[in-house]
Structure 1
Amino acid sequence: MIQPEAEWRAHLAEGRFMIQRSRSTGGHVFYPRIVEPGTGADDLQWVEASGKGVVHAVTVVRKKDPADSYNVVLVDLAEGPRLMSRVDGIDVDAVRIGMDVRARIVEGEGKPLLVFVPA
């Protein structure tokens, strides 16, 4: 059996943003798991995420060279789960709480990464 994190990364490598959903409760789950937190439901299946989200929190990691600075965000997905990522395609100081964002898969550090861009 493939571990949930490895399966999620395999989906990213295929260019697909997938999250888990419980067949019995309908609850969406992220980070990939074996059972749904809170209910213990073990009937999780992979479903395509809408990619829509809203910035819940943001901080900027400042580097000596301002061009190397980057943001770290918590994004509330339309499906319910919250995840940590970054927002690309915008100045690091322009990211705001409440901003609508859309998921994008990019290549970074030799592997596919899930990031967001302004919607």
Structure 2
Amino acid sequence: MPDYLKPLPDIDPYSKGYWMHAHAHRLSVQVCAECGYRMFPPQPACPACLSDVLDWRPVSGRGRLVSWATFHRAYWDAFRGDLPYHVCLVELEEGPLVAGNFVAGIPEDVRMGMPMQAVFEDVTPAISLVRFTPA
């Protein structure tokens, strides 16, 4: 795996569970132990019941494409060689929305509602990033 020069996440106590699952190539979301609400990105308390008893649970990684955007500007120098690059927003079967990149660029037949599947790319020995591919 070559040197990865793009920004990497700051892993904190709230996101640590997500990154542990991602490293094992499992997509996960935070789940409230009190009411079962599923959320992403990580939060210190459940927005539904305000409990702070939260855990990370794997999800299917399946969802539907809600939106996508094409970036023509590199906000970090390390992205300059990827221009233009595409970011997608996927609504998981389990409810939360997750942003990521398409695996191999924007699909030729891209459309809202397109079934998608999460896959992971190991970018460092410790960090794996979610990508999405048509299901």
Shorter-chain TM-score: which interval? 0.7 to 0.9
Q: Deviations over 1:45-87 (max 9, x none)?
A: 2211111111111111237x99742211111111111121122
Q: Which residue of 41, 50, 53 maps to 1:31?
A: 41
> Larger % of strand: which?
1
Runs of 4+ in 1 over 6 A off after TM superposition: none
Distance 1:61 1:4 in 2: 29
Whether the aligned pair in 2 keeps the contact of 1:12 and 1:105 (CA below 8 Å) is yes
CA 58–91 in structure 1, closer or farther in 2 if over 3 Å, else same: closer
Q: Does 1:69 align with 2:84?
A: yes
2:121 is matched by which residue type in structure 1?
A: V
Matches of residues 72-83 of structure 1 in structure 2 within 5 Å? 72-83=87-98
Q: Which residue of 111, 117, 124 maps to 1:96?
A: 111
- Runs of at least 5 residues in structure 2 that lack an aligned partner in the other structure: 1-11, 74-79
Q: Which residue of 40, 48, 56 maps to 2:58?
A: 48
Q: State the percentage of identical aligned residues.
A: 26
1:97 is matched by which residue type in structure 2?
A: M
RMSD: 2.5
Distance 2:84 2:50 in 1: 40
Partner-residue secondary structure (3-state), 2:117 = strand
Whether the aligned pair in 2 keeps the contact of 1:52 and 1:77 (CA below 8 Å) is yes
Whether the aligned pair in 2 keeps the contact of 1:36 and 1:42 (CA below 8 Å) is yes
Whether the aligned pair in 2 keeps the contact of 1:71 and 1:92 (CA below 8 Å) is no
Whether the aligned pair in 1 keeps the contact of 2:85 and 2:105 (CA below 8 Å) is no
- Runs of at least 5 residues in structure 1 that lack an aligned partner in the other structure: none
Whether the aligned pair in 1 keeps the contact of 2:116 and 2:134 (CA below 8 Å) is yes
Instruction: Provide the TM-score with structure 1 as the length reference.
Output: 0.81
